[in-house]
Copies of this chain bind each other. A is one copy, B any other.
Amino acid sequence: MPSLSARENWRLLGESAASLEETPLASLFATDPQRFSRYSIEAAGLFLDYSKNLITEEVIGQLLALASECELADQVAAMFSGQPINTTEQRAVLHTALRSQADSLMVDGTDVMPLVREQLARMGRFVDQVRSGQWRGSGGRPITDVVNIGIGGSDLGPKMVVEALADPTDSGVNTNPVKVHFVSNVDGEHLLQTLVNLDGQSTLFVVTSKTFTTLETLTNARSARRWLVDQLGSDQGLEQHFVAVSSNAAAVAEFGIAEANRFEIWDWVGGRYSLWSAVGLGIALAGGMEQFNALLAGARRMDHHFLTAPMEQNMPVILGLIGIWNRNFLDIPSLMVMPYDQRLASFSAYLQQADMESNGKSVTLDGQPLAIKTAPVVWGAAGTNGQHAYMQLLHQGNERVASDFIVAIQPREGSPFADHHPALVANCFAQAEALMVGRSRSAVESRLLADGLSQAAAGQLAPHLIMPGGRPSNTLMMERLTAETLGALIALYEQKIFVQGALWGINSFDQWGVELGKKLAAEIIDAMAGDGEPDLAADRDSSTAGLVQRYRQTLAGRSGD
């Protein structure tokens, strides 16, 4: 296979980028009144407007041709059919099976669909027990609070979804209201902040770790157990307060969680793609199984669209290609994702892992170094908050940033402050417009003169008010943020990330880069604990050794030497 950058369409895209260098984005609208309808797609309850990117029909054609050269459709088919596309770990990648309604899907001689159905049924029974108040704590009280202990994929996705779908006014008329909390950080303050408001008698812990060896999760789980014994005044009945989501049955049993209370997770589900599995137990406990199924249904709709829509009308494909255009041809190093929705305040934190851990790679599947850039830095906050924080740089800084805006046309059903909503939506549209059109020197000067400034004063101030414009953005819109549209939104980004990884030719499903830090941390913690000279290898850099020494000296009361 030729390397990506050696492909014909890669070269053509480079030429297109060069020829568009001096073209103001806004001018593309002036010359084509159909631009908005030409560059928008509706699917699975989502509407994507991608017209505010520096693209032309030629660019889109070249991007689609590149996707075809890279045999994208075959790569998509390979994932959905359970081929071991995670080659460095020799695993299939089948989070799509978790939301599929196919009868069967064979992986290595095993049909995974019955496993998925059975696990969902088990989740459903458990969730109903807890939410109906049948499941009791050891002292006979129903569960009011669930603490999900997990980190990374066992935390970011489920936490984001729970926040997004919460109804703050829910008083649990028909079911026992269950509040779900998330503890991830090994910092003891995180566990403390959560436990301090809880009553052990009515608290259930869900310990989520595929391997059941994750440092943070096991540390927090052990401390939670200590706290619970203290709260209950006894270590009897702990099994009513702990369930696990893990594939390591032995470690779960050793921790003292009954096998009946262990939910399964399979090696064909990557952590950052796992919220659709029992890792999403917290989601189902917070909102019920019906809502969880609606989340799956939304993702399934997007998967169906991804599998069946023609490439040029395929939302994940187009979003992925636009990302490659911005990253590789316009050389934009970061993607700012800004949901105009307080419920999605954690969306960019979720997406950071989904995107950067998947595509933050620099070798191809066959081990060749990749000279071209891969995943951008993904970051952002909820709008309108971000407008009052970092948007200044996007409007007037000299490093271009690409943006994705996300907004629901209607507020949450039943919102008592629904009258705030039009201002939220208007600000979303306005930021995208302002980034695109900018503000010219002449527009600035006439405004300043109208404000009463002298010609000289206006001339002096004007350069500070000019905005270059030409900042690209996508706008994703839905009628309401519901379990179904959220499921579609998450699946959209998952598949967009897949598209980009497939074109770059990298493995989006491993994460070897996080291994070394864990190993070094284990060595360092031993050295920190010793009494004598830090027990680090003699050739350790003086910075690491010096920091450890300083730590030890401070603990020994000899701060600052």
User: A547 within 8 Å of B by Cβ?
Assistant: yes
Interface residues of A in 371-413 (CB under 8 A from B): 371-379, 381-385, 387-399, 401, 409-412
Contact B477 A187 (CB under 8 A): no
Contact B188 A420 (CB under 8 A): yes
Contact B547 A187 (CB under 8 A): no
Tell me the complex Cα distance, A409–B42, Å: 52
Across the interface, which residues of B come within 8 angstroms of A383, CB to CB?
185
Across the interface, which residues of B come within 8 angstroms of A460, CB to CB?
367
What per-residue 1/0 map shows which CB atoms of A447-483 lie under 8 Å from chain B? 0000000000000111111111000000101010000
Which of B168, B377, B431 has a CB less than 8 Å from the CB of A379?
B377
Interface residues of A in 414-459 (CB under 8 A from B): 415-427, 429-434, 436-439
User: A291 within 8 Å of B by Cβ?
Assistant: no
Given contacts A356-B389, A507-B464, contact A559 B479 (CB under 8 A): yes
List 10 contacting pairs A-B, 8 Å CB cutoff, sorted by A.
A36-B542, A191-B417, A349-B381, A370-B398, A391-B514, A396-B513, A410-B554, A422-B525, A433-B544, A467-B513
Among A117-125, A296-304, A338-346, the stretch that binds chain B is: A338-346
Tell me the complex Cα distance, A500–B515, Å: 35
Across the interface, which residues of B come within 8 angstroms of A421, CB to CB?
187-188
What per-residue 1/0 map shows which CB atoms of A266-304 lie under 8 Å from chain B? 000000000000000000000000000000000000000
Nearest opposing residue in chain B for A544, CB measure: B433
User: A521 within 8 Å of B by Cβ?
Assistant: yes
User: A260 within 8 Å of B by Cβ?
Assistant: no
Nearest opposing residue in chain B for A197, CB measure: B168
CB distance from A494 to the nearest CB of B (A): 15
Across the interface, which residues of B come within 8 angstroms of A418, CB to CB?
188
Interface residues of A in 161-213 (CB under 8 A from B): 168-169, 184-193, 196
Tell me the complex Cα distance, A361–B424, Å: 26
Most buried by B among A415, A465, A512: A512
Interface residues of A in 523-553 (CB under 8 A from B): 523-525, 528-529, 539, 541-548, 550-551
Among A2-10, A27-35, A57-65, the stretch that binds chain B is: A27-35
Across the interface, which residues of B come within 8 angstroms of A363, CB to CB?
463-464, 466
User: A98 within 8 Å of B by Cβ?
Assistant: no
Contact A192 B169 (CB under 8 A): yes
Which of B186, B377, B388, B462 has a CB less than 8 Å from the CB of A334?
B377
Nearest opposing residue in chain B for A417, CB measure: B188
Contact A467 B417 (CB under 8 A): no
User: A88 within 8 Å of B by Cβ?
Assistant: yes
Nearest opposing residue in chain B for A526, CB measure: B426
Contact A379 B379 (CB under 8 A): yes
CB distance from A149 to the nearest CB of B (A): 13
Query: Which 5 pairs from chain A and chain B are nearest by CB?
Result: A360-B393, A188-B417, A152-B388, A395-B513, A367-B463
Nearest opposing residue in chain B for A512, CB measure: B465
Interface residues of A in 141-164 (CB under 8 A from B): 151-153, 155-156
Among A44-52, A72-80, A100-108, the stretch that binds chain B is: A44-52
Tell me the complex Cα distance, A381–B381, Å: 12
Contact B394 A424 (CB under 8 A): no
Tell me the complex Cα distance, A394–B360, Å: 7
Nearest opposing residue in chain B for A166, CB measure: B193
Across the interface, which residues of B come within 8 angstroms of A368, CB to CB?
463
Among A12-20, A128-136, A215-223, the stretch that binds chain B is: A215-223
Across the interface, which residues of B come within 8 angstroms of A522, CB to CB?
426
